[in-house]
Amino acid sequence: MDYTEALDYLMSFTDMERGYVAQSSANPTMSLASVRSLLSRLNDPHLGRGTVHVTGSKGKGSTAHMIAGILRRNDEEVALFTSPHLHSFTERIAINGDAISPEEFAAGLEGIRPAIEAERQSFHGSASTFGVLTALFFWLTRAQVKHIDWQVVEVGLGGTFDATNVFDAPDVVVITPISLEHTQILGETTEAIARDKAGIIKAGATCVLAPQQDPRVVEVVRERCDDVGAKLVEVAALYETEPLERFPFGQSFLLHGPMGTREMRTPMLGKHQLTNAATAVAVAEALRARGHAISEAAVIDGIAHTRLPGRLEVMGQKPLIVADGAHNGDSAEALAHALKEYFTWRRLFLVIGVTKDKDVRAMGFKLARLAELIVCCGFRNPRSRDPYEIVQEIGFLGPAAVAEPTVAEALETALSHAEPDDIVCVTGSLYVVAEAREQILGESVLRP
């Protein structure tokens, strides 16, 4: 099986991107049950190492990478599972900071294929694509190196019924800021969504809760911790960030916390990344409290060396070209603040494309007032929303809005209007960001 064949096999499963629902929206536990059964067939490769389990609506990917970065700088062997990817499924599985190769991906999938096929014939039925990826991560983590000290695992969607919720005793559970997302599945309120995400909190774990806009989220998480016997660490109550310097390629800040004040740096832009950094540091200190030795140098350097493509990434200058995968109203608001605080520009040209399930109007309300022109685009994914529909959703907000069928054509339109002192911002789905990186930076793209 080569990489192309591996992808074709992976796509033969139900529900390409979500681990929450496998075959029936009326039975969301089916995916989780089948993943647990599949892992049992593989001799439970998810057990036997330290675990940090990360969920939330915003910032969970950045926070997971920062946590993994701290642990790697502490000379630990670390496996990281995140989603979605920019260019290739291989990005979702990283061992000691390096994504696995296409050859390793294909060999791993071939290795677990007999167990997958046996599971297809079982009582539980077939896992989802995300469920298979989850099992592949754990199996590769055990097979690729002699010993992994830590696994940092990002939830795919929600928490309680997510395919990654297979741990009985994680060391630390992290909940990043929660906002309205996937309301048709997770619930119509942030309280309901928090209740679903809090399902990954288990007895004996430490729960690190990032600052939340809705106090009801804090109450839900506190109740869950009390119910199951988990320790709660509230970042908002213990930590405070103070920005120092801001540049287009990074920022410095002071972090005030229980261990005193640290001066820190991060190449990640945006005030929200300071919140993510504070949350990652809180995780490191929670691990210390649980008896794990983590050096101060590892904490500082782990944050300073963590960089994610597609998160307020500068891809060009004169005009500035910035890409950010802001996918909901809250993320768009954070992006709007960052564009004003971290960059100097005269006019903004916005390139935006979203999947069909996103509230693009909420995003438009946060970003449209800054824009000179909005270029709505489609992208190479069946979930891409028609750009003409996006125009109808946000075209009334003020600036002119036009539709282009592809990201490449949208960029061409935006750049044809932009002058050297302007900025072009590419946002919405990470699929859009990936295609923009392919177009501007020449990044190689492995299907899909």
The string of pLDDT tens digits covering residues 334-355 is 899 999 999 999 999 999 999 9
- Residue 126 has a pLDDT of 66
Alpha helix ranges (H) inside 15-101: 29-41, 60-73
* 230: pLDDT strictly greater than 90: yes
Q: Which of the pair, 101 or 28, is modelled with greater confidence?
A: 101
In a domain, 111, yes or no: no
In a domain, 7, yes or no: no
Neighbouring CB atoms inside 10 A of 362's CB total 18
* 375: pLDDT strictly greater than 90: yes
Phi-psi label, residue 318: left if phi above 0, alpha if psi -120 to 50, beta otherwise: left
Q: Are 176 and 57 in contact (CB under 8 A)?
A: yes
* 268: pLDDT strictly greater than 70: yes
The arithmetic mean of pLDDT across residues 115-141, rounded, is 86
- Residue 19 has a pLDDT of 39
Total number of domains in the chain: 2
Last residue of a domain, one of 261, 278, 304: 304
Last residue of a domain, one of 304, 334, 349: 304
The arithmetic mean of pLDDT across residues 240-250, rounded, is 93
- Looking at the fold, whether 81 and 175 belong to one and the same domain comes out as yes
The arithmetic mean of pLDDT across residues 164-184, rounded, is 87
Percent of the chain with pLDDT over 70: 91
- Looking at the fold, whether 54 and 203 belong to one and the same domain comes out as yes
Containing structural domain, residue 259: 45-97+132-304
- Looking at the fold, whether 261 and 355 belong to one and the same domain comes out as no
Cross-strand bridge partners of residue 349:
373, 424
Q: Of 5-9, 33-37, 440-444, where does mean pLDDT reach its minimum?
A: 440-444
The residue to which tokens 């439970």 are assigned: 44
Average confidence score pLDDT of the chain: 90
In a domain, 122, yes or no: no
The arithmetic mean of pLDDT across residues 51-57, rounded, is 96
Q: Are 147 and 75 in contact (CB under 8 A)?
A: no
- Looking at the fold, whether 236 and 143 belong to one and the same domain comes out as yes
- Looking at the fold, whether 337 and 277 belong to one and the same domain comes out as no
